[in-house]
Amino acid sequence: MSTIHKQVKQDMDQLVDEWLETDYLQSKQVFIIGCSTSEVVGETIGTSGSEAVAEEIFTALNRLKDASGVELAFQCCEHLNRAIVLERSVQEALGLEPVSAIPHKDAGGSMATYAYKHMKDPVLVEDVSAHAGIDIGNTLIGMHLKKVAVPLRFQQKQIGNAPLTGARTRPKLIGGARARYE
């Protein structure tokens, strides 16, 4: 295992542990992942994708899924209009319309491609409203988060060489000065 792969595994294990220490994740909620494996290996986004790096990330995220019950959703790159790879059972449960595309390294990105190849019954959808997620390498997952997104601060600040941002969502606070909230 190369140095970068060891680092990614260590970084992802720490990140998953940090997520599991929170009470932010609930079973059946959608957890969105945006990831530039190029950025993880220290290159410019979209230039040096790595399915080997994607494998390390996917493996760690499956541990998160198994421990928390969340449903994983992987954002494709802009060449597939940031479509989402998820399990067909999730697509059907959420009533989302599938789209006709299959991600590959040059249109979808290495992370989405790896996820598509290794999920049980993958499908692409145009968008999703996720409850929480991570953005590895500034891939801009915000368009796929429910309102209101709340940025999270973790000890783990990057995966490999890529900056890491986490977010969860909460219901809107409406009603003004007289309203009471839980």
What pLDDT shows up at residue 176?
Answer: 79
Exposed/middle/buried for residue 94 (C-beta within 10 Å: 0-12, 13-18, 19+): middle
**What pLDDT is attached to residue 177?**
78
- For residue 75, the surrounding DSSP H or E stretch is strand 71-75
Q: Determine the Cα–Cα distance for residues 85 and 87; give it in Å rounded to an integer.
A: 7
Distance (Å, whole) CA 105 – CA 111: 8
Q: Which tokens in the block code for residue 143?
A: 């368009």
What's the average pLDDT block by block, 10 residues per block, for the chain (182 residues)? 92 98 97 97 93 97 98 95 97 98 93 98 98 96 95 96 97 84 77
The CA–CA distances, whole Å, from 41 to 13, 109, 127, 162, 163 equal 17, 14, 27, 8, 11
Domain-wise residue ranges, the chain: 3-128
Q: Quote the pTM value.
A: 0.94
Residue 158: the pLDDT is 97
Return the pLDDT at 75.
98
Classify domain 3-128 by CATH number: 3.40.50.10360
What is the pLDDT, as a whole number, of residue 173? Answer: 85
